[in-house]
Amino acid sequence: MIIVMKAGASKKDKDVVLKCIRDLGYKPHVIHGETRDVIGAIGGDHGKTALQSLESMHGVEKVVPILQPYKLASKEVKKDASLISISDNVVIGGDKVIVMAGPCSVESEKQIIESAIAVKNAGAHVLRGGAFKPRTSPYSFQGLEEEGLKLLAKARELTGLPIVTEVIDPETADMVADYSDILQVGARNSQNFALLKKIGKLSRPVLLKRGMSMTIQEFLMSAEYIMSEGNQSVILCERGIRTFETATRNTLDLSAIPVLKGKTHLPVVIDPSHGTGDHHYVAPMCYASVAAGADGLIVEVHPDPEHASSDGAQSLKPSKFEAMMAKLKLFAEADGRTL
């Protein structure tokens, strides 16, 4: 921690701060600047919150943290990229770009089976589909719940595609884990710490979505919550952040890819469907994601978007998805990877 004193801070102010730093078990180190003093507090992590509170002391201008607050998620701790195995032949984080695709919600057996076959034929590696749906309105379709999970399992049996599906509370987490291959944590639950702790105790890989107004540092702290409970298989998913722009549903932050790659060993996946909210923009954002170094994509595909129970406007038809995958292959290859 660096404590910046005010320009006019008195000697007494400074002495009180120095005493506080020592009381917290840190060693203070003063730099006398031309207009103000700056104090480094040397020591470990134990008293960080308390050090931050020095900001309320007389004569203190601000407190600047120096260390990153995450450890297990950090590249400083583990330099090599994490490879996360989903099934025998699906590994995320390596030289193969992994595409997860399927409808927003599981609506019926016919719909999910059709979707699964379509995305498999187009080359997708994982089937997505929501059985528990966190919806903004209590009056919107909330998902088929366990019935939906069973239909997903049936689709997996038929196509061999592993399944990613959302878990929305600690109580149903075990059930969702029983049926699925990857547990998705949605953007609205990205700081639901009770849920993160519960999932950290399970052994399933996790697709953790970034919250709508989550900084990259907070995103890594949420991953850290899961990892600190024992589950190291966290896949980070950027899905658009909330900004002033309304031409897209969210603003897809693709620079998060190189930023995350610089800070963490965890794989990064992009969701251009929620990121843009409009199926017209999905394909170009898929290409851009892979060119920027994303390890994978998660894309909404629906056999009949006009009649979807949710998110129809941002879902690709199977034919469009197929065309996208064909072109995506070229970008993966330009990056020295495969699809």
257 binds its own copies (CB under 8 A): yes
Residue 142 phi, psi dihedral angles, 5° rounding? -105, 10
- DSSP type of residue 302: -
**Least Å distance between CB 104 and its own copies?**
10
Look at residue 110 and give its three-state secondary structure: helix
- What one-letter code names the amino acid at 313? A
Query: Taking contact as CB under 8 A, which single stretch among the options 108-116, 156-164, 174-182, 307-315 is the one that binds its own copies?
Result: 307-315
Question: Which is closer to its own copies, CB of 162 or CB of 186?
Answer: 186
Whole-angstrom distance, CA of residue 165 vs CA of residue 306: 22
232 binds its own copies (CB under 8 A): no
Residues 81-140 binding its own copies (CB under 8 A) are 134-140
Q: Rg of the Cα trace of the chain?
A: 23
Query: Taking contact as CB under 8 A, which single stretch among the options 80-88, 115-123, 148-156, 280-288 is the one that binds its own copies?
Result: 280-288
Provide the b/e sequence for 153-176 (b: ≥16 CB within 10 Å): eebbeebebbbbbbbbeeeebeeb
Query: Taking contact as CB under 8 A, which single stretch among the options 123-131, 149-157, 201-209, 213-221 is the one that binds its own copies?
Result: 213-221
User: What is the total count of residues that contact its own copies (CB under 8 A)?
Assistant: 115
52 binds its own copies (CB under 8 A): yes
Residues 2-41 binding its own copies (CB under 8 A) are 2, 4, 7-8, 20, 29, 31-36, 38, 40
Contact (Cβ atoms closer than 8 angstroms) between residue 241 and residue 251: yes
267 binds its own copies (CB under 8 A): no
Query: Taking contact as CB under 8 A, which single stretch among the options 55-63, 88-96, 120-128, 201-209 is the one that binds its own copies?
Result: 55-63
**Least Å distance between CB 156 and its own copies?**
25
338 binds its own copies (CB under 8 A): no
- What one-letter code names the amino acid at 304? D
247 binds its own copies (CB under 8 A): yes
Query: Taking contact as CB under 8 A, which single stretch among the options 121-129, 158-166, 174-182, 310-318 is the one that binds its own copies?
Result: 310-318
50 binds its own copies (CB under 8 A): yes
| The two three-digit tokens of residue 40, written as one number | 């480094």
Contact (Cβ atoms closer than 8 angstroms) between residue 302 and residue 319: no
**Least Å distance between CB 154 and its own copies?**
25
Contact (Cβ atoms closer than 8 angstroms) between residue 216 and residue 254: no
Among 10, 108, 121, 255, binds its own copies (CB under 8 A): 255
Whole-angstrom distance, CA of residue 221 vs CA of residue 51: 19
Closest-CA residue to 106 (of 146, 135, 143, 157): 143
Q: How many residues does the chain have?
A: 339
Whole-angstrom distance, CA of residue 278 vs CA of residue 240: 12
Report strand pairing: 2-5 vs 206-209.
Answer: unpaired
319 binds its own copies (CB under 8 A): no
Question: Which is closer to its own copies, CB of 59 or CB of 162?
Answer: 59
Q: x/- binding map, residues 140-179, to its own copies, per CB under 8 A?
A: xx--------------------------xxxx--------
